[in-house]
A and B are shown apart, each in its own frame.
Chain A
């Protein structure tokens, strides 16, 4: 059995001006093939103007089990939202 190709994560810019967004993944032997395959798999209906590929193994992420603890702090910081401050209507847009 030959060596399994690595997994690549695919990011596509849907339209000029937008950021690339993650759309899925695929296996490929190198970045060049990953780009070509991504084009054929993910942009057959004109879904993109640009593609980024990143080897999945190169992506670091938090352990999902720690999510509650990791993302808890902002919950108590409600003042970061502009609606926390009451601005009377006659003051105008702010």
Chain B
């Protein structure tokens, strides 16, 4: 999802580890100062920081359209949405910091390309309709993943997710609203919406990560209460929720294998191209280089401003000390 392929530490067998597992099983939240296994701590740092990086990098594809939104109102809405994502990144970085990693370390990991972020943000936003598709599908998929994370065993992460989830509904709805307006417009506008769905459908399904049978990290994460559902479970839920919405819009989901299964009460659907997914994760997606370059440029261009603020704060403190 926003954190795909998180490497998971192993559980140990000491008395302390056993007590810790019992606490998790009883549903007691773990807090920053509580004892925790090193594997649990490291897994959470990786997952939360990846999630944070995704929120931050996730601003770029939509930021691309702020200056070109078709009306002042759409521009204000998109700006507010992207601003929320910056906030989500902030909540999450702070949650990760409670586990003993510094903000600078995480920033460094993102800027150097060492850290991962969600594969979805390495695709380009080519038309205005992509703002609709991203809000509707990408934020829709994010919600699917983040709602169960509100019950994550780690308190600071779960509370950050509660804040995030409150804000996400606006994101998905504004995206759907963009799609709806296009679909109710001219033939060309509707074709734009269809084209955006065609390009974003499969990358959105990949957001949930590899199929369960290939997902090596899930089991321990689930035992530790870091993960509540498997990748395939969430993907299925997303398809079941989204296909009727596409139909409502009068759009066609680009999957010839998609069909309603009377017996299971769910949709059957095709397999995403996992080789594409792994290429994007490895850094070879259409926009990986641009995204990293944009983050590095923002960081470097902001250096004089950060330094200025620090110098001002130092001066204030010296004045207070002198008084």
Contacts of B170 in A (CB 8 A): 79-82, 84-85
Cβ-neighbour of B73 out of A50, A79, A88 (below 8 A): A79
Residues of chain A at interface, number, CB under 8 A: 21
Contacts of B169 in A (CB 8 A): 82, 94
Binary flags per residue of B231-248, CB closer than 8 Å to A gives 1, else 0: 000000000010011001
Contacts of A17 in B (CB 8 A): 28-29, 155, 158-159
Contacts of B108 in A (CB 8 A): none
Confirm or deny: B59 has a beta carbon within 8 angstroms of a beta carbon on chain A.
no
Binary flags per residue of B80-120, CB closer than 8 Å to A gives 1, else 0: 10001000000000000000000000000000000000000
One of B43-51, B60-68, B172-180, B301-309 at the interface: B172-180
Confirm or deny: A93 has a beta carbon within 8 angstroms of a beta carbon on chain B.
yes
Q: Which residue of A lies closest to B143 (CB)?
A: A94
How far is it, in angstroms, between the C-alpha of A85 and the C-alpha of B176 when the chains are bound? 9
Confirm or deny: A87 has a beta carbon within 8 angstroms of a beta carbon on chain B.
yes
Contacts of B76 in A (CB 8 A): 77, 79
Q: Which residue of A lies closest to B171 (CB)?
A: A82
Cβ-neighbour of A94 out of B77, B84, B173 (below 8 A): B173
Known: A19-B159, A50-B31, A77-B76. A90 touches B248 (CB 8 A): yes
Q: Which residue of B lies closest to A79 (CB)?
A: B77
Q: Which residue of B lies closest to A17 (CB)?
A: B29
How far is it, in angstroms, between the C-alpha of A85 and the C-alpha of B31 when the chains are bound? 37
Measured CB to CB, the closest approach of chain B to A4, in angstroms, equals 20
Known: A92-B241, A92-B245, A93-B241. A79 touches B31 (CB 8 A): no
What range describes how many residues of B lie at the interface? 20 to 34
Measured CB to CB, the closest approach of chain A to B137, in angstroms, equals 12
Contacts of B84 in A (CB 8 A): 80
Contacts of A60 in B (CB 8 A): none
Query: From DSSP, what is the main secondary structure of chain A's interface residues?
Result: loop
Measured CB to CB, the closest approach of chain B to A31, in angstroms, equals 15
Confirm or deny: A91 has a beta carbon within 8 angstroms of a beta carbon on chain B.
yes
Measured CB to CB, the closest approach of chain B to A43, in angstroms, equals 16
Residues B172 and A94 in contact, CB atoms below 8 Å apart: yes
Contacts of A88 in B (CB 8 A): 248
Contacts of B29 in A (CB 8 A): 16-17
How far is it, in angstroms, between the C-alpha of A85 and the C-alpha of B170 when the chains are bound? 8
Which residues in window 254-285 of B have CB below 8 A to A? none
Residues A82 and B244 in contact, CB atoms below 8 Å apart: no
How far is it, in angstroms, between the C-alpha of A27 and the C-alpha of B9 when the chains are bound? 45
Which residues in window 145-195 of B have CB below 8 A to A? 155, 158-159, 169-170, 172-174, 176-177
Contacts of A92 in B (CB 8 A): 241, 244-245
Measured CB to CB, the closest approach of chain A to B252, in angstroms, equals 17
Residues A85 and B173 in contact, CB atoms below 8 Å apart: yes
Measured CB to CB, the closest approach of chain B to A3, in angstroms, equals 19
Binary flags per residue of A7-22, CB closer than 8 Å to B gives 1, else 0: 0000001001111000
Contacts of B80 in A (CB 8 A): 77, 79-80
Contacts of A77 in B (CB 8 A): 76, 80
Measured CB to CB, the closest approach of chain B to A41, in angstroms, equals 22
Q: Which residue of B lies closest to A88 (CB)?
A: B248
Cβ-neighbour of B177 out of A18, A19, A85 (below 8 A): A85
Interface centre among B80, B158, B170, B172, by most chain A C-beta atoms within 10 angstroms, is: B170
Residues A87 and B244 in contact, CB atoms below 8 Å apart: no
Measured CB to CB, the closest approach of chain B to A12, in angstroms, equals 13
Question: Besides A13-B31, A92-B241, 6 other CB < 8 A contacts?
Answer: A17-B29, A18-B159, A79-B170, A79-B174, A81-B170, A94-B140
Closest 4 CB pairs of A and B: A82-B169, A17-B29, A85-B173, A82-B170
Between A and B, 10 residue pairs with Cβ closer than 8 Å are A13-B31, A16-B155, A19-B159, A77-B80, A79-B80, A79-B170, A80-B84, A80-B170, A85-B170, A85-B177
